[in-house]
Structure formats: structure tokens, C-alpha cells
Amino acid sequence: MKVLVTGTGGYIGTRLAPILMGRGHAVTGLDTGYYLDGWLYSDPRKLGLAPQMLIKDLRNVTAADLEGIEAVVHLAELSNDPLGENKPEVTYKINHEGSVNLAKLAKAAGVKRFVYASSCSVYGVGSGEFLDEKSAVNPQTAYAKCKVMVERDVGALGSRDFCVTFMRNATAYGASPRMRFDIVINDLCALAWTTKRIAMTSDGSPWRPVVHVEDICKAIYCALEAPVGAVNGEIFNVGQNSENYRVREIAAIIADVFPGCELTTGKSASDNRSYRVSFDKIASGLPGFSCDWNAQRGAEELRDLFTRIEMDKDTYAFRAFTRLKQLRYLQKTEQIDAEFFWR
């Protein structure tokens, strides 16, 4: 298929595009490039195929960008809760309006499939019970509220000829050149490696399902390649049941992989998100999908990567590897305007 992947300059998109190309799809990338300053490592084995990438804001996409495209995988958004709280009004413009507009343009252009990267953070605060795709959502932040609104509004555009699928990803981890050290496993592994301290920002009690970035990519290609009837209008939680952890359990796994570290907890602070998620539906309902990774192997992968690249504190702290830091830097240096358009 000819696939437009938005967000190919980001953490997941950088890994996804070569995987889709390796499966024979013709990929065009699109990204505004907020994080292009950061490139943690090279790996020609996994990153040898790179798509052509339009450097363009989602909000400026036109019908011409979708000409001849058969499927859209949409990842390009402000990508986490703190980022959304930084400037909620811009988050709504990009994540909600930009995404719905992209889907409308895609449908009008005759695109057949639209796969959207939603998030388990739509569940917000649960009480420890397993939440599935039919459970009530409880979004706590502008970011998560946008995910719910996009699912609703893009869901309404779905038809026999415009197959829409929503992937509610657990929190990702794993190696990507456009690294994110603002997601829990990547962050704690980098802390362990650079400081010998695994410092949780919460008291460690919140539930957090996690999933490897390669398994997210696998779920996306399974959704793209599935019979329409299996995925049209469907929501899938992306992950596996055994990968629901309390944050302190994640920290203990990391302590095991990075021996000799001190483990500390923090105050729960403002982040009250805690959700435990059922992944039964994707296990039985998405043809070809099962997870290949778990948190332990993911931590080992990062330890091996840090060893190979001699990862240091400055690299860990580099702005482009923490989404909020990089956007604040681009704002402060007036490289982007109040609406986050490049000047």
C-alpha cells in the first residue's frame, strides 16, 4: 500500500517507517520536525530504509498531500500529558482539530484506511480493575481528552470505504534514535545508567501498562494489513495483560538489570494517572498480533544500547530527548510562535 505516516520525525514514527517499508509498503513521511535536533544512535540494520519526509505542519496538510495515498497512519501530535498541559489550547488545535481535519481530507481523497495512535491514558484514573475497550474513559489531561475526541469524531467518519482503527497504546519503551527519556522505562533506565539512582517521581503505586515500540509498530502493521471487517471502527488496547505493572515493579525490574542502583520514591504530586488495562481484545481480535517484548527485555536492550554508545549524563539531559524541554526551548528561542508554527 501507499501509506502516509505522520510523525516520522518522532520516537515511534522513526521506527515504524522502516518496518512498514520492509513489509513492502511505499511510505511517505510527514512531520513538522520539532525533535529533529536529537538522534541518539544509528543502526543500519533496523533503520536502513528511510522514507521521504515532508516537513510540514499537520494543520497545513492539503488534499494534494493525500493524492494517491491508500492508507494513513497518524502519529503526529503533541505526544504526552505534560506537553498538553503546557499549552492546552494549542494541544486542542493540533491533536484534536488537526487530526480530525486530516481524516476528513483523507476520506475525501479516497484513502481507504486510517489508523490512529490513541493512548491508554484515555482511562485516566482507574481503581485497579482491568479496563477494556468498553470501559468508560476518564481522561485527566488535555492530551487524553483530545484522544477521546479524535476517536469520537474520526469514528463518525468511518464507513465501508473508509476503514478507521484506533490503537490505544500503552506507555511505550525501547530504543529509537529520536529517543524519548520522558516515558517511564526509558527514563528510569537512563537514570539508572547515568546516576546509579532509580528515582520514581511518584510513590510507585500507580498502575502503568507498558509496551515496546516495536510491538506498537507490529500492531499498526497488523491493523493496516488485516481484513477490513476485523478492524473497521474498532478500538484496540495495544499491549499484553502481563505487562501491567505498578511503577515500583517497573523500578524493581530495572534495578535488576542495572545492578547497584539506589531506588527512591517521590510524592504523587499532580500526576494521579493510574490504570490497569485488559489486552484480551487485541490478543484474539487482531490477526497476527502478539507482543514479542516485555519490560525486562526492554531494559536489557537499553542497557546494551547505553553500553554501545557510551551514553552519558549530558546526552540523557539533552533537550530534544524530553519533549516538553524541547518545545519550551523552541518557544524561548522564538523558533516557534505562540501557536507552535515555525517562524
By the criterion CB under 6 A, which residues form the site for ligand NAD?
7, 9-13, 31-35, 57-59, 75-79, 94, 98, 117, 119, 169, 171-172, 178, 180, 183, 323
Q: Is the dihedral of CA 55, 179, 212, 206 positive or negative?
A: negative
Closer of 9 and 158 to ligand NAD (Cβ): 9
CB distance 73 to 263 below 8 Å: no
Closer of 123 and 306 to ligand NAD (Cβ): 123
Minimum Å gap between C-beta 329 and ligand NAD is: 14
* C-alpha closest to that of 175 among 186, 167, 161: 186
269 in helix, strand or coil?
A: coil
Q: What is the DSSP letter of 119?
A: E
Q: What is the DSSP letter of 338?
A: T
| Grid coordinates of 159 | 464507513
Minimum Å gap between C-beta 207 and ligand NAD is: 15
Q: Would you give the distance in Å from CA 123 to the centre of its chain?
A: 16
Cα 99 from Cα 55, distance rounded (Å):
17
Give me the residue whose beta carbon is nearest to ligand NAD: 10
Minimum Å gap between C-beta 319 and ligand NAD is: 13
CB distance 224 to 113 below 8 Å: yes
Q: Which residues pair with 74 in a beta bridge?
A: 6, 116
Minimum Å gap between C-beta 229 and ligand NAD is: 25
Closer of 16 and 192 to ligand NAD (Cβ): 16
Closer of 15 and 229 to ligand NAD (Cβ): 15
Minimum Å gap between C-beta 260 and ligand NAD is: 28
Closer of 92 and 193 to ligand NAD (Cβ): 92
